Amino acid sequence: MTDEPSRGGSSDNQERPPDGSPGPGSRLRDQRESLGLTLEQVGQELRILPSILRALEEDRFEVLEAPIFVRGHLRNYARLLDLPAEEIVDAYNATLPSDSQPALELRGNAGPAMDSGTPAWVFTVAWIVVLAMLVMGGLWWYAGPHREPVSALDEAEERVEPVAERDEAVETVEDSPLTEEIDEGRAEPEEIEAEPSAVAEMEEESPAADPEQEPVAEADETLPAAAELLEPEVVAPDEPVADVIDEEGSRSLTVILDDDSWIEIYDDRDQRLYYGLAREGERVEVAGLAPISIFMGNAPAVSLEVDGEVWEFGDRIRRDNTARITVTP
């Protein structure tokens, strides 16, 4: 009778760390929150589901079942947060029962199904479930809701369209009936100029006919002048339209760090200008086409300058110390 309580107490001790120390989850969570990162941002960087990251921070390692997967995720998570990876893994190993390591070695060599009495197909199904979870996580990452990058080619086409429309308008004016009438008007003076001999004979017979020829000469000069006024003048731009727009809408940014913070900067074409963990004392200088989107994980520790002038954004800081602002042209 006295042996049964002792056996029950030993099973409880196997579920807790041998030395009673907490697992590595709280340390990972505290470091992530100090950097102003969310589980979704870490999941995108490591390509891991946020639910798995939450389980790691809560020391619910049974979600991944196999310790080899837990150690791999803990190492990657610790490296992203600049924590000593081996210390995190050692803290996790301390939470395992003392006889778990020999069981893993037997499982790798001869398989534990025969020793534990568990059928071998159970472990096969468990591996399939783990692989299916990893595949689903990968599919969610690649097919999930993310930014839809704006195509630079589409923007260039939209900006060049006014030039193409202007060229079409010029062609329309050149082909219009008014232009044809002007061309016909140009041809009329040739018929008038083709009769100088008859005019000379009339001058010999009647000198009073000279004033009648002057209006013809004046009309001959007026028609080409009118045609030149009506012809549209096509002025070719010295520089490509897209280049001019880029120069006018470009802004330069300087981010100054008083403490570590996660920084993301994207320009108007959704091109990534900066993405990563910026260190205390670092100056991040970028330039791009406005509007420029900026996300700061630890906004109170960040100072921002736009085109050399200080940019105030204190009213945009959220309760979790993050901030997302947009620098307009």
For the entire predicted model, the pTM comes to 0.30
Q: Which residues make Cβ contacts (< 8 Å) with residue 255, sequence separation at least 6?
A: 263, 265, 274, 278, 283, 284, 285, 286, 294, 302, 303, 304
- Domain check: are 254 and 308 in the same one? yes
Alpha helices in 175-283 (DSSP H): 177-193, 196-205, 210-230, 241-249
Please report the pLDDT score of residue 23 as a whole number. 79
Q: What is the pLDDT of residue 261?
A: 93
Residues 139 and 29 occupy one common structural domain: yes
The residue range of the domain holding 105 is 17-143
In this prediction, residue 21 carries a pLDDT of 55
Q: Does residue 1 lie in a domain region?
A: no
266 and 315 fall within a common domain: yes
How many structural domains are present in the chain?
3
**Of the candidates 173, 205, 230, which is a domain's last residue?**
230
Whether residue 198 lies inside any domain: the answer is yes
39 with 136, same domain? yes
Q: Say yes or no: 23 and 129 in one domain.
A: yes
- Residue 124 structure tokens: 């096969």
Coil, helix or strand at residue 282: coil
At 157 the pLDDT is: 55
Distance CA 105, CA 100 (A): 9
Do 271 and 303 belong together in one domain? yes
Answer with the one of 87, 113, 143 that is the final residue of a domain.
143
Residues 57 and 42: their CA atoms lie apart, in Å, by: 12
The CATH number of the domain holding residue 90 is: 1.10.260.40
- Domain-located, residue 9: no
Q: Is residue 26 part of a domain?
A: yes
Q: What angle, 0 to 180 degrees and rounded to 10, lies between the N-to-C axes of helices 25-34 and 85-94?
A: 150
For the chain (329 residues), the mean pLDDT of every run of 10, in chain order, is 36 40 83 92 91 90 84 91 92 78 43 55 91 90 62 52 50 48 46 44 46 45 47 41 53 92 93 93 92 93 92 91 90
Asked if 21 and 127 sit in the same domain, the reply is: yes
The reply to whether 133 and 188 lie within a common domain is: no
pLDDT of residue 310: 92
Say yes or no: 132 and 170 in one domain.
Answer: no
98 and 200 inside one domain:
no
| Confidence at residue 41, expressed as pLDDT on a 0 to 100 scale | 94
